[in-house]
């Protein structure tokens, strides 16, 4: 099973996940990395789930059009939209505080 190491606010959270896991879906059903992973739409429209991939990026598929649209130059710095990723290999990622601002827990208005 893939091992996921998730960094947030100076803390490290680690767990194994099933093959073909989507971390936003998993957090949505209150499993790791819940409650630490911040996300919004789950559809690649809000970028709240953006994380920097620290290890394992080579196993991920190329960014899709939603990631290209939402992340722009952040793609070059190793960021991905976690809601667009299904994990098959070990992965280490960081979600920065800056990725979470934009409204005290309110869901974004996805257009
Ligand atoms: S949760 Fe909205 S883009 Fe990933």
Please list the pLDDT of the chain residue by residue as tens digits (111 residues). 999 999 999 999 999 999 999 999 999 999 999 999 999 999 999 999 999 999 999 999 999 999 999 999 999 999 999 999 999 999 999 999 864 444 444 444 444
How far apart are the C-alpha atoms of 12 and 81, rounded to whole Å?
A: 19
pTM (two decimals): 0.87
Ligand 1 centroid distance, CA of 90 (Å): 21
CATH class of the domain whose range is 3-98 = alpha beta
| Ligand 1, CB cutoff 6 Å, lining residues | 24, 39-42, 44-49, 81, 83
What are the DSSP E strand ranges found in the chain? Answer: 3-8, 11-16, 50-55, 79-81, 91-95
């Amino acid at each position: 099973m893939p091992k996921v190491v998730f960094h947030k606010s100076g803390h490290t959270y680690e767990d194994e996940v099933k093959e073909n896991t989507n971390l936003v879906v998993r957090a949505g059903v209150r499993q790791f990395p819940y409650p630490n992973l911040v996300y919004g739409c789950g559809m690649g429209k809000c970028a709240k789930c953006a994380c920097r991939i620290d290890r394992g990026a080579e196993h991920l598929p190329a960014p899709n059009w939603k990631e290209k649209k939402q992340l722009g130059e952040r793609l070059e710095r190793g960021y991905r939209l976690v809601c667009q990723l299904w994990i098959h290999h070990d992965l280490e990622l960081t979600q920065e505080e800056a990725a979470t601002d934009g409204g005290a827990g309110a869901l974004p208005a996805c257009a």
